[in-house]
A = this chain, B = another copy of it.
Amino acid sequence: MTECLFCRIVQGEIAADIVYQDESVIAFRDIQPQVPTHVLVVPRRHVAGYNDLTKDDDALLGSVGRAAAHVAQLEGIGSSGYRCVVNSGQDALQSVPHLHVHVLGGRPLSWPPG
C-alpha cells in the first residue's frame, strides 16, 4: 500500500471533497483553505514534483494545467481571476511530495505571493 497521501486519495482510500476528475487528474478542496476557493489539482500518476519532471510528463502537465483552468470555471472564478501555485521543496513549504497545483481565488490576491 502506498504511503503517498495524494495517491491514496486518487485510489479512493482516503476521502476528499472532489470537485472535478478525468482520466488524468483529480481535483479536490484543500483541507486548509486560504481563500474562498482553494482547490488542489493532482495528476493521478505519481510525480513527486517539478524537479522530477521529464519530457514524458509534458502531456500530463498539460492536462493538469487545463484542469486547473476548468476548475476555475466550475468554481465561478474563471473571469474574476485566480492564481495557480506549485510549491517545490522546503523554502516553498511543499507539504506533500506528489505534484499538485493550488488553484486559489474568490478574493483579490496580493503580491508578492508569499
Binding site for B on A (CB under 8 A): 34-35, 50-51, 53-55, 57-63, 65-66, 68-69, 72-73, 77-94, 102, 104-114
Contacts and interface: CB of A to CB of B under 8 A. Distances in A.
13 contacts: A34-B113, A51-B69, A58-B65, A61-B61, A61-B62, A78-B89, A80-B90, A83-B85, A90-B108, A91-B106, A91-B107, A91-B108, A92-B105
Nearest to A108: B91
A89 B81 contact: yes
Given A88-B69, A109-B92, A114 B57 contact: no
A32 B89 CA distance: 24
Contacts of A107: 91
